[in-house]
Amino acid sequence: MNIWQELNPHFLALAPMEGVTDLVFRQVVQQAAPPDLFFTEFTNVSSFASEKGRHNALERLEIAPTEGRAPGQTPIIAQIWGKNPAHFSELSSALASLGFQGLDINMGCPDRHVNKAGGGAAMILNPELALDCIKQVQAATSLPVSVKTRLGFSSVEEYATWLPLLLRQNLPALTVHLRTRKEMSKVPAHFELIPNLLELRDAIAPHTKLIINGDITDRAQAETLWQQHPAIDGFMIGRGIFADPFCFRNFHSRPRIKQSELVELFLFHLKLHDQRTAELAGRGSRYPFEPLKHFFKVYLNNFDGAADLRAQLMSCTTTDQLRQILSTQSFD
C-alpha cells in the first residue's frame, strides 16, 4: 500500500513553495498544526545530475525527524522539476533511499525563469516531453509518482485536453491549481470548474486522487468545499500559510490565536534557523539569513504597530538581534 492509499479520505497538504517549504519551515508548521502531507521545495533534476549542483540538490532534499511514515510523523513527498527525461530518471532512482514516501513532478510553476528553462508550466506546451518525463520517472523508482499542474498555459479551456493526458498516465494523485499560467494569481481560482474536473477524473482514472489547489486558505474553507464536492480527495494550501501558520488546525475546536503564540512560534523558527545554520556550516555550506525576512509578516501582523516592528526587524542581520528587539515588546 502506498502513501496515497494510506491517507484519510479527505486530506490536506502544504503546497510546495520555493524559498518557503524547506526543512526548517516544514518543522515550524509541524509544531503549529501539521497537515496530512508535506511537499519539499522543488528540486531541479539537472542540478542533481551535475557535479556542481548535486550537493545543493541533496541539501534541499533533506527531511526532518518529524517526517516519515511512523506514528507521529507527517509523510513527505519530494517535488522535482526539469525537462531532461534522463535527468528525471537519475534523480528519481535515488529518492527512495532518502526517506520520501512519494515523488511529485512539477508541471505548473509559473515562474518565467523556470518556464524559460522548459520546466514547470512550460510542460503544458510540450505534452509529448511531459509524458516522456513521467514514464522515465515511473520506470526509475518504486515510489508512487504524482503530478502538480495548472488548468492550462494560456487559456482555461486547455484543461479539457491537457488533464486527460495526465489522467491516462496511471498516476496515484493529480494536483490541479485552478488557474492558468497566464493568470498567475491575478484572478480568483476557478472553483466553478471543480465539477468538470471530477467528471474527467471519474471517467478516465477513478483511482487517481484529485487534489485542488489555489485560493484555499484554511481547513474551514476546505471543509466547506468538501460539503459541496465530497468526491474531492484533498486540498492543498499554499499562500494561506502566510496569513495563518495555524491554518491546518481543526477549526471546530480552534480558539483564537493570540499574538503571543505567534511570537512563540517565531522564536521556535529562529531556533531551528540557528540549528540549520550551524549544521550546514559544519559541512562547509551556509544557510542564508536574508530569506528569513520573508517570514516576518507570518508572525507579526494585524496588530497596532506591527508594520513598524517589522520595519525595525528588517535592519537586523542576526537572529540574536531579532530576539533582542522582540524581547523589548509586549504581546497579548
What pLDDT, in 10s, does the model give residues 216-243? 999 999 999 999 999 999 999 999 999 9
**What pLDDT digit, counting tens, does each position of 77-92 carry?**
999 999 999 999 999 9
Whether pLDDT at 257 is above 90: no
Domain-terminating residue out of 229, 250, 271: 250
Average pLDDT over residues 1-29: 95
Q: What is the mean pLDDT of the chain?
A: 94
CA atoms within 13 A on the CB side of 253: 2
Look at residue 52 in the predicted model and tell me its pLDDT.
86
**What's the distance, Cα to Cα, between the start and end of the chain in Å?**
47
- Give me the mean pLDDT over the 5-33 stretch: 95
pLDDT higher than threshold 90 for residue 332: no
214 and 263 share one domain = no
| Domain count along the chain | 2
Which sequence positions are flagged as catalytic?
Answer: 109
80 and 139 belong to one structural domain: yes
Dihedral, 231, 234, 240, 246 alpha carbons, nearest 10: 110
pLDDT of 107 > 90? The answer is: yes
Say which range, 67-71, 269-273, 328-332, has the weakest mean pLDDT: 328-332
103 and 153: one domain?
yes
Q: Are residues 61 and 93 in the same domain?
A: yes
* Residues 52 and 177 placed together within one structural domain of the fold: yes
160 and 220: one domain? yes
pLDDT per residue as tens digits for the range 269-309: 999 999 999 999 999 999 999 999 999 999 999 888 889 99
What string of DSSP letters covers 286-324? ---SGGGGGGHHHHS-SSTTHHHHHHHHTT--SHHHHHH
289, 226: one domain: no
Q: What is the pLDDT of residue 109?
A: 92
CA pair distance 214, 175, nearest whole angstrom: 10
Mean pLDDT of 170-176: 98
Residue 53's pLDDT band (cuts 50, 70, 90): confident
Rounded to whole angstroms, how far apart are CA atoms 7 and 208? 13
pTM attached to this predicted model:
0.95
Residue 106 has pLDDT above 70, yes or no: yes
* 122-139: pLDDT as tens digits: 999 999 999 999 999 999
Residues 68 and 175 in one domain: yes
Calculate mean pLDDT across residues 89-118.
93
Tell me how far apart the alpha carbons of residues 116 and 109 are, in angstroms, rounded to a whole number.
Answer: 11
Using pLDDT thresholds of 50, 70 and 90, give the confidence band for residue 253.
low
For residue 245, the 8-state DSSP code is: T
Per residue in 174-204, pLDDT tens? Answer: 999 999 999 998 899 999 999 999 999 999 9
53 and 177 in a single domain? The answer is: yes
End-of-domain residue from the set 201, 219, 250: 250
CATH number at residue 116: 3.20.20.70
- Same domain as 147, residue 112: yes
Domain boundary among 250, 279, 311: 250
Q: Answer whether residue 102 shows pLDDT above 80.
A: yes
Beta strand segments in 54-126, E: 76-81, 102-107
Higher pLDDT, 170 or 255: 170
Q: Structural domain of residue 137, as residue ranges?
A: 3-250
Claim to verify: residue 236 and residue 271 sit in the same structural domain: no
The mean pLDDT of 138-166, rounded to a whole number, is 97
The predicted pLDDT at position 254 comes to 63
